[in-house]
Structure 1
Amino acid sequence: MNNITTDKLIRTSKATLMLFFCIFGLLMMHSNFTDYTANHEYVSHILSMDTIDDAGRYSHRAITSPMLHHRIYWIIMTLEVTYTVFCLIGAWSLFRNINSSRQAFHEAKKYSIIGLLIAIFVYYVCLQVIGVEWFNMDLSEKWNYKDWARHIVDFIFALLIYVTMRIER
């Protein structure tokens, strides 16, 4: 245990936390591809705004085309695959550079940062901003994933700050 320095532990923790987030991404991908119908149903209800009270007031915002529901869901799944791939490459790059120079380790963070930014786009912009603010997802009793998305964004944002911090020597 005396051979492990704080610097190496910090580097290892950054790579490991990225790997943990990759597991989340892989599970999300698995869920979206193996249970397409249930997840598509969620997207359809949110876009159609058919499960919120007083929907008529906001009906001009609704997207009711089934074709667009499928396309938007595929865009979301593509973004999830993309952030997961970037995060996997990022985690691998961090693990590969754990014993490298300070500059090399810092440069190894770029794929992780790109992946985390895409993930923030999916869970913050798509779900929390567009889903809640435009499609009023938070008004749906059954299809409200606002809190779930917020917890994910809280973790991603903290991880992004931690990974980008240049505290290792």
Structure 2
Amino acid sequence: MADGGRRTDTRRSGLKESADTAGPVRWTRWPGLVAGPALGAAALTAVVGLVVALAAFGNLTDFGTNQQFVRHVLAMDTTFRDPDLMWRAVTSARLQNAVYVGIIAWEVSAAAVLLRAVWLWCAALRGGSAGQARAASSVGLVMVLLLFGLGFLAIGGEWFAMWQSEQWNGLDAAARNTLLAAAALVLVHLPSAAGPDRPGTPDRPGIPEEPAAAGQPGSATG
């Protein structure tokens, strides 16, 4: 009976050890998922990249709609037409089109950088380094901030007095995109967004290799 009790305890101990180790093993393929900020940084980078990519796609496939928007904003023809401000207006069609094409090219570039960053985040979440993902996200998000913050809010909104126009006013959309990119940039640079810095093994990246357990003594026989 004593020998049977020891065998039962050994089996129960083995089951308990298997249950305790089942959780971490389940995450070995995606060790970075344990760190919430890393997953959040990847997701928010993907959202911003998708928004910019769709904006660029819309401008390319429906070129004329936002072309009119850019022309009216630069011409300042729907503002209060204050003589003290109208000298800022750009009425040359060539310059207006050049600005619009430049905006589209900037959007395409920013979207490409951000989508590349998403791919790098996916690699980082599987146990790789988050340094390249963070750098790519930073470049792409800063490009978005410059486009919507500097380009639309500062230059379009203030210099060309877009805030005075009821018909051609893109300040709300620009503010949303600016805040979204800024939030993503903050999350990307949180210290824990890089994921856990843990040594890994070739078959289980990100999970430290445990030392070999000491040999179990054999059970006594009656």
Q: Could you say whether these structures have the same fold, taking a TM-score greater than 0.5 normalized by the shorter chain as the test?
A: yes
Please tell me whether residue 166 in structure 1 is matched to residue 191 in structure 2.
yes
Instruction: Structure 1: state its 5+ residue gaps.
Output: none
Aligned to 2:145: 120
Alignment of 1:81-160 (within 5 A): 81-100=108-127, 104-160=129-185
User: How big is the shift at 1:75?
Assistant: 0.7
Deviations 1:56-87 (A, max 9, x none): 33111000000000000011111101110000
Output the aligned Cα RMSD.
1.6
Deviations 1:30-63 (A, max 9, x none): 1110111110000000000001113433111000
Aligned to 1:54: 81
Number of equivalences: 166
Q: TM-score, normalised by structure 1?
A: 0.91
Greater percentage in helix: 1
Q: Which residue, 51, 59, 62 being the options, matches 1:24?
A: 51
Aligned to 1:109, the other structure's residue is in SS state helix
Give the letter aligned to residue 105 of structure 1. A
Give the letter aligned to residue 169 of structure 2. N
CA contact (8 A) 2:76 2:86 kept: yes
Aligned to 1:57, the other structure's residue is in SS state coil
User: How big is the shift at 1:106?
Assistant: 3.1
Give the letter aligned to residue 112 of structure 1. S
CA contact (8 A) 1:106 1:166 kept: no
Q: Which protein shows a greater Rg?
A: 2
Give the letter aligned to residue 111 of structure 1. A
User: How big is the shift at 1:11?
Assistant: 2.1
Instruction: Structure 2: state its 5+ residue gaps.
Output: 1-22, 197-222
CA contact (8 A) 2:114 2:137 kept: yes
User: How big is the shift at 1:144?
Assistant: 0.9
CA contact (8 A) 2:75 2:90 kept: yes
Point out 4+ residue stretches in structure 1 off by more than 4 angstroms: 2-6
Aligned to 1:38: 65
CA contact (8 A) 1:49 1:55 kept: no
**Identical counterparts, % of pairs:** 26
Give me the whole-angstrom Cα distance separating, in 2, the residues matched to 1:55 and 1:80: 32
Please tell me whether residue 66 in structure 1 is matched to residue 93 in structure 2.
yes
Aligned to 1:142, the other structure's residue is in SS state coil
Bigger mean CA deviation after superposition, 48-57 or 138-147: 48-57
Give the letter aligned to residue 152 of structure 1. N
